[in-house]
Amino acid sequence: MAADATPSPGGKHVGQRLKRREDPALIRGQGTFIDDVRLPGMLHLAFKRSDVAHGRIVRVDTSAARAMPGVRLVATGADLQGVLPSVPVITPFPYPDHPAVTPDKVRYVGEPVALVVAEDRYQAQDAVEAIEVTIEDLPAVVDAETALRGEPALLHEGFANNVALRIISGTGVTEAAGTQDPEAVDNRELDAAFETAEVVISQRMVNPRIAPSAIETRGVVAQYEATRPYLTIWSTTQRPHAHRRFLAAALGLGEHQARTIAPEMGGGFGAKKIYGEDFVAAALSKQLGAPIKWIEDRSEAFLTTTHARDVIGQIELAAKRDGTVTALKARLVADIGAYEMLLTAFIPTLTHGLLSGGYAIPVIRSELIEVFTNKMPTDAYRGAGMPEAIFFVERSMELLARELGMDPAEVRRKNFIRPEQFPYKTAAGNEYDSGEYERLLDATLELAGWEEMRAEQAAARAAGRLVGLGMSFYIELCAIGPSTMFPDGGWEHGSVTVERDGRITATTGASAHGQGHETSFAQVLADQFGIEPETITLLHGDTAVAKQGVGTVASRSLVVGGTALLMAGSKVKAKMTRFAAQLLEAREEEIEFANGEVGVAGGGKLSFEEVASYAYAPQQLPAGTEPGLSEEAFWEPPGMTFPYGCYIAQVEVDRETGEVALQRFVGVDDCGTIVNPLIVEGQIHGGIAQGIGPALTEELRYDEHGQLLTGSFMDYAIPRASDLPRFELGVTVTPSPLNPLGAKGTGEAGTIGATPAVVNAVVDALSELGVRHVDPALHPEKVWRLIRGGER
């Protein structure tokens, strides 16, 4: 990579707690979110959704709805057959057809059956209520382990026993991506490890189904202009460019005839990508010749925005009595719901790759079975397969420590990948870039006051209190790429234009929605050019502005998008260097960028603006140079980065009520180079909260008929401010060797690490009652029943 891609020496902005440049508008209520987009003549779309989990549509009576005031169109799935394409999937695996509005069979509660377009939102909703749907019930498939025997019904033709995918990975499998053929697996090494094991830990564990729950729901505004023809579509999407590609194709347009705008977005967390409703809005805008708006309400969001996790793991660990883990075996059953969305089947396959955790486990094997059930499909959500892996590994390490009577910190220490082993290829197939795990563990123990915590816990227990301590050591897989690793391209795009006045307009394909790119990316460029961040504007979230992009997903924005921007910047910088050398009659090697000036150290200097201005009106072009200062770059990472951290939770369980009080949460994270500590802290905090939620209160539950029982924030409890303690956090910095920033990513860290730490703490608190394992969510009723059972 180009040497000058590295931020200028003496750069002063990377590492600063710069206040966010996004904030002034947002704190005044001047942000533009999807529901704030309004166009002249805009009509409103609402959906009639199935209230049955599995069945055949017998009749859809729309006559009353058609007669309602303000109604412009009523359509059923059958009416739209051939008009709408199926909902897109980009995994390499086989998948069933997924109509945006179902014409014949319903497969989950909330599936669109019909729709209304009306002049205002109230009218559209009124008319939806007037549509009558008759459905002949089929048996609902709700239990994944029963479903994979093909019982009590099959969801899709061509998927025997409801199995979407079965894949075996790891030791004894020659293909890096795993094999679907059990006969092709060599079991000798795995069998030998378990036969010679001194200790074997075996535990069934469940990662419950959860809801990403961005506070802003989904929405879309589609405007089709027939005469051009051209589609402009505003959508809550984390991936505007992929969105444009699929939406253009849906209307028979080329990508050059469509523009996707992701306005300010009220959280995404992996769940906001491409949905059937977007296709419907675009197609109806074309059909009706008017802009169409659809805004999801919260009840719809619980039913129809992709769910996550829902994986049952049977985990076995082989170890020596000194705590050394010699093998890990996992059988994973993932309940992926009724259909596949963009990456549904891909997400559970990511779990295998992190089953090594932070440990040098020589033998790792997993078998993954993905199963269709009559529930909302799952897809990516903060962590995407990784929280599942780390939960399984870290619960297992805790069980091993308990079995051996070892300090949980020491069991982990015993198995860590050592600094000199990096880059380290795990038995699960990933190559970890860098790490100093033991240093971070020690930093965490010190920050927590581990010995004092243990002593206080012993005293509390002696006094009859149920106090527990739990630890987790997490690994996060970030910056997913190169393109061989990510089904839709593993690169990111950036552009840098130094304007004539010396200000910079930059674009990135990483479309932020709360991550603060406008601030942190400006810090990176400011250091590269030796200028102030205030003179840089970063644009994103609009395919007409950011020419190409993958998106803000998988904790990859700064690492991949930030580096792409640096690469574009380095091309501009090289041109500025040539112009400056010419003007100063200096050699290019002598030119430096610092303090808003371009010139020779101790010699002649020009202002940044002077060089910029000259580049657009050069009196004499340097040989082989075009005028102007505008460049772009794609950057594809050579490999993935692996940030890590250690969390310690302290809980107290109320014997009478089963309530869990999270008293302390201590952690140290290492995400490589930190560009803006304020933003990183925010990411870690939010991530931790999203890991604590599923540990204690968050769980989506369907009943035996496939009805969602937790369809509102009354029943699905995301953490409130009073549920959380003040997080006590520190950092270590181990730069990644795989990108010029040394950054690793941090978006999902907290979510991956927090759940096992808290669950381990609760199990520890209950251990004196004979509890060995309990699956989250550990809400008071479940814990109360355990206490009652334990005491009987």
Partner 1 sequence: MSEKVPVEVRVNGELRSAAVEPRLLLVHFLREELGLTGTHVGCDTSQCGACTVLIDGRSAKSCTVFAVQAAGSAVTTIEGLAEGEALHPIQEGFWEEHGLQCGYCTPGMIMAAASLLKENPDPSETEIRSGLDGNLCRCTGYQHIVNAIARAAQQG
Instruction: Among 713, 730, 737, 773, indicate the residue that binds partner 1 (CB under 8 A).
Output: 713
Site residues for partner 1, 219-258, by CB under 8 A, read none
Q: Does 297 bind partner 1 (CB under 8 A)?
A: yes
| Residue 6 phi, psi (nearest 5) | -70, 140
If we measure between CA atoms, which residue out of 555, 74, 553, 44 comes closest to residue 274? 553
Element (H, E) at 611: helix 608-616
Q: Are 52 and 553 in contact (CB under 8 A)?
A: no
Stretch that binds partner 1, among 20-28, 252-260, 498-506, 522-530 (CB under 8 A): 20-28
Question: Exposure pattern of 186-209 as b/e (b: 16+ CB <10 Å)?
Answer: eeeebeebbeebebbbebebbbbb
Supply φ then ψ for residue 710, to 5 degrees. Answer: -120, 65
Q: Which are the contacts of 708, defined by CB distance < 8 A and separation ≥ 6?
A: 109, 110, 302, 303, 375, 376, 700, 701, 702
CB atoms near residue 588 (< 10 Å): 12
Question: Does the protein bind partner 1 through residue 663 (CB under 8 A)?
Answer: no
Q: Is 35 in the site for partner 1 (CB under 8 A)?
A: yes
Give 17 or 425: the residue with its C-beta nearer to partner 1: 17
What single string gives the DSSP state of each residue in 167-181? EEEETT--STT-BS-
Closest to 549 measured CA to CA, from 489, 484, 487, 492: 492
Closest CA to 383 of 342, 426, 418, 353: 353
- Least Å from the CB of residue 777 to partner 1: 17
Pick between residue 268 and residue 429 the one whose CB is nearest to partner 1.
Answer: 268
Stretch that binds partner 1, among 188-196, 441-449, 534-542, 683-691 (CB under 8 A): 683-691
Provide the 8-state DSSP code for 557: I
Q: Is 375 strand, coil or helix?
A: coil
CB atoms within 10 A of CB 253: 19
In the set 13, 20, 273, 744, which binds partner 1 (CB under 8 A)? 20
Smallest distance from partner 1 to CB 30, Å:
7
User: Taking the CB of residue 149, how many other CB atoms lie within 10 A of it?
Assistant: 12
Give the residue, chosen from 77, 516, 551, 706, that forms a contact with partner 1 under the rule CB under 8 A: 516
Q: Is 724 in the site for partner 1 (CB under 8 A)?
A: yes
Q: Which is nearer to partner 1, 724 or 774 (CB)?
A: 724
* C-alpha–C-alpha distance, residues 642 and 734, integer Å: 10
Q: How far is the CB of 22 from partner 1 (least distance, A)?
A: 7
Which run of H or E residues covers position 331? strand 325-337
559 neighbors 590 (Cβ within 8 angstroms): no
Which of 240, 489, 490, 687 binds partner 1 (CB under 8 A)? It is 687
Number of residues interacting with partner 1: please give it, by CB under 8 A: 57
256: left (phi over 0), alpha (psi -120 to 50) or beta: alpha
Site string for partner 1, 299-318 (x = CB under 8 A): x-------------------
> Rounded to an integer, what is the distance from CA 465 to the centroid of its chain?
38
The interface mask with partner 1, positions 114-133, x = CB under 8 A, is --------x---x-------
Q: Which is nearer to partner 1, 118 or 466 (CB)?
A: 118
Least distance to partner 1, CB of residue 520, Å: 12
Residue 208 lies near partner 1 (rule: CB under 8 A): no
Count, residues in the chain = 792
Cβ of residue 292: shortest distance to partner 1, in angstroms?
Answer: 17
| 582-621 residues near partner 1, rule: CB under 8 A | none
163-202 mask for partner 1 (x: CB under 8 A)? ----------------------------------------
User: H or E element: which one contains 569?
Assistant: helix 563-584
Minimum distance of partner 1 from residue 27's CB (angstroms)? 4
Residue 22 contacts partner 1 per CB under 8 A: yes
**CB 679 → partner 1: shortest distance, Å?**
7
**Cβ distance 379 to 342 under 8 Å?**
yes
690 makes contact with partner 1 (CB under 8 A): yes
**Which one among 1, 26, 153, 661 touches partner 1, defined by CB under 8 A?**
26
- Range in contact with partner 1 (rule: CB under 8 A) among 50-58, 137-145, 624-632, 717-725: 717-725
Binding of residue 709 to partner 1 (CB under 8 A): no
Tell me: does residue 720 bind partner 1 (CB under 8 A): yes
Helix or strand run (H / E) with residue 293: strand 292-295
Q: What is the DSSP string of 24-85?
A: HHHHTT---BGGG---TT-EEEEEEE-SSSSEEEEEEE-HHHHTSTTEEEEEEHHHHTTTSP
> Could you tell me the smallest distance in angstroms from the CB atom of residue 753 to partner 1?
13
Q: How far apart are CB 299 and partner 1 at their closest, in Å?
A: 6
Residue of 111, 264, 632, 698 interacting with partner 1 (CB under 8 A): 264
Return the closest-CA partner of residue 115 out of 40, 62, 172, 63: 62
Give me the amino acid identity at 544: A
Q: Which of 216, 310, 367, 527 binds partner 1 (CB under 8 A)?
A: 216
Q: Is 72 in the site for partner 1 (CB under 8 A)?
A: no
In the complex with partner 1, the residue whose CB is nearer, 596 or 682, is 682
27 binds partner 1 (CB under 8 A): yes
Which string of DSSP letters, residue by residue, matches 475-507? E--BS--STTTSTT-S-EEEEEEE-TTS-EEEE
- Bridge pairing between strands 43-49 and 292-295: parallel
Instruction: Provide the minimum distance between the beta carbon of 293 and partner 1 in the complex, in angstroms, as a whole number.
Output: 12
Q: Residue 36 interacts with partner 1 (CB under 8 A)?
A: yes
Applying the rule CB under 8 A, the residues between 738 and 757 that interact with partner 1 are: 750
Q: Which residues pair with 539 in a beta bridge?
A: 507
| 769 lies in the binding site for partner 1 (CB under 8 A) | no
Which window, 186-194, 342-350, 366-374, 687-695, contacts partner 1 (CB under 8 A)? 687-695
Name the segment binding partner 1 (CB under 8 A); options: 160-168, 340-348, 356-364, 707-715. Answer: 707-715
User: Of residues 162, 207, 213, 235, which one binds partner 1 by CB under 8 A?
Assistant: 213
Q: Which residues are CB-contacts of 129 (< 8 A; sequence separation ≥ 6)?
A: none
Segment 486-515, which members bind partner 1 (CB under 8 A)? Answer: 513-515
Stretch that binds partner 1, among 166-174, 407-415, 716-724, 779-787 (CB under 8 A): 716-724
Which CB atom, from 265 or from 399, has the smaller least distance to partner 1?
265
In degrees and rounded to multiples of 5, residue 193 shows phi and psi of -65, -40
Query: Per CB under 8 A, does 714 bind partner 1?
Result: yes
Task: Give the Cα separation of 26 and 337 in Å (integer).
Answer: 36
Is 149 a binder of partner 1 (CB under 8 A)?
A: no
Q: Which residues bind partner 1 (CB under 8 A)?
A: 19-20, 22-24, 26-33, 35-36, 69, 122, 126, 213-217, 264-267, 269, 297-299, 513-516, 678-679, 681-682, 685-690, 712-714, 718-722, 724, 726-727, 750
